[in-house]
């Protein structure tokens, strides 16, 4: 009797699960999903061509230095980059003397050795890039309750990171009249900015690159919004993966060795088993 009750309970449970699955699938297939402003007006990131793209990609050091200049003069006012030290700038073409001078142009938190109190001091090459805010609360208070993300790994932290970042920086615009007519509730609120490349279309970050010539490049390159956006994106690709060139240079020889070893193993197998014949099956 106990076994029969157990079987009936099991069958009942199985029936309920199967019914729930069928009803859920039917609802998913037949229910009309209401269109949202995000679904209708969100745009995928535009393609971006960088020297570092592809399996043979290499960094353009001149472009990386321009990108660093954009970060320092524009982005650093809100965004930290705490995984990078000043001494890492030698990897993008700066000399040790230039790195020392560059580090000294930044102000970093320090400790007074005489009193033990917190103070500030000029940076040194071993220091990491400082945060513009003392803590998250201060960051949110200064940015309409939004916490600006650290940019060290930003191109790895977002899908299609380089393309997304470049599209976001160049994508600020007025809300389309069609959007407001169709979705009046999606009107950009106070302290927000319309950007179709952002997930919910409205972003708290003001346009960081708003006019051509916002940065004066040391190498004389014309600083258009597109150029500045491309350069800082290239720089942030490097901060997220500074060993990209070494990885590419190492990867191809390793792949060639593996192919050679596979072919060699196949010929060795043929040689070892060449004199052995398969046994005949007895009938």
The reported pLDDT for the residue numbered 279 is 62
Asked whether residue 128 carries a pLDDT value surpassing 80, the answer given is: yes
Residue with more model confidence, 15 or 170 = 170
Question: Does residue 99 form part of some domain?
Answer: no
Question: Does residue 230 form part of some domain?
Answer: yes
Question: Does residue 177 form part of some domain?
Answer: yes
Asked whether residue 283 carries a pLDDT value surpassing 60, the answer given is: no
Question: Does residue 276 form part of some domain?
Answer: no
The reported pLDDT for the residue numbered 276 is 67
Residue with more model confidence, 251 or 223 = 223
Q: Mean pLDDT over residues 108-116, rounded? A: 83
Q: Is the pTM of this model over 0.85?
A: no
**Residues 155-182: tens digit of each pLDDT:** 999 999 999 999 999 999 999 999 888 8
Q: 198-232 b/e with 16+ CB inside 10 Å = b?
A: beebbbbbebbbeeeeebebeeeeebebebbbbbb
Q: Mean pLDDT over residues 107-134, rounded? A: 89
**Residues 18-53: tens digit of each pLDDT:** 888 877 776 766 666 667 888 888 999 999 999 999
Question: Does residue 173 form part of some domain?
Answer: yes
| Total domains present in the chain | 1
For residue 227, what is the domain's CATH number? 1.10.760.10
Q: Which domain holds residue 189?
A: 39-58+65-84+148-244
The lowest-confidence range among 132-141, 215-224, 250-259 is: 250-259
Determine if residue 81 is labeled as part of a ligand binding site: no
The reported pLDDT for the residue numbered 158 is 93
Question: Does residue 280 form part of some domain?
Answer: no
Question: Does residue 205 form part of some domain?
Answer: yes
- Which pLDDT band holds residue 273 (cuts at 50, 70, 90)? confident
Pair 111, 103: CB distance under 8 Å: no
3-state helix/strand/coil string of 99-165: HHHHHHCCEEEEECCCCCCEEEEECCCCCECCCCCCCHHHHHHHCCCCCCCCCCCHHHHCCCHHHHH
Question: Does residue 178 form part of some domain?
Answer: yes
The reported pLDDT for the residue numbered 80 is 95
Determine if residue 42 is labeled as part of a ligand binding site: no
**Residues 198-212: tens digit of each pLDDT:** 998 999 999 999 999
Determine if residue 79 is labeled as part of a ligand binding site: yes
The reported pLDDT for the residue numbered 31 is 66
């Amino acid at each position: 009797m106990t076994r029969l009750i157990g079987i009936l309970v099991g069958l009942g449970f199985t029936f309920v699960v199967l019914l729930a699955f069928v009803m859920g699938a039917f609802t998913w297939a037949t229910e009309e999903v209401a269109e949202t402003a995000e679904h209708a007006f969100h745009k995928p990131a535009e393609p971006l061509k960088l020297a570092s793209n592809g399996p043979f990609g290499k960094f353009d050091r001149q472009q990386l230095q321009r990108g660093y200049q954009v970060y320092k003069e524009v982005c650093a006012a809100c965004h930290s980059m705490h995984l990078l030290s000043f001494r890492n700038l030698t990897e993008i073409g700066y000399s040790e003397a230039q790195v020392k001078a560059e580090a000294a142009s930044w102000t970093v938190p320090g400790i007074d050795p005489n009193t033990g109190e917190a103070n500030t001091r000029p940076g040194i090459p071993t220091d990491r890039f400082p945060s513009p805010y003392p803590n998250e609360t201060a960051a949110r208070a200064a940015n309409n309750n939004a916490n600006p993300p650290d940019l060290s790994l930003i191109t790895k932290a977002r899908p299609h990171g380089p393309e997304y970042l470049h599209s976001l920086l160049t994508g600020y615009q007025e809300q389309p009249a069609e959007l407001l007519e169709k979705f009046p509730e999606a009107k950009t609120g106070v302290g927000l900015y319309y950007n179709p490349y952002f997930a919910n279309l409205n972003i708290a970050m003001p346009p960081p690159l708003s006019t051509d010539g916002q940065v004066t490049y040391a190498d004389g390159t014309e600083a258009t919004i597109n150029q500045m956006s491309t350069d800082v994106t290239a720089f942030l690709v490097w901060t997220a993966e500074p060993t990209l060139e070494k990885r590419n240079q190492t990867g191809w020889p390793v792949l060639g060795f593996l192919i050679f070893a596979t072919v060699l193993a196949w010929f060795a197998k043929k040689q070892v088993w060449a004199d052995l014949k398969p046994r005949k099956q007895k009938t």
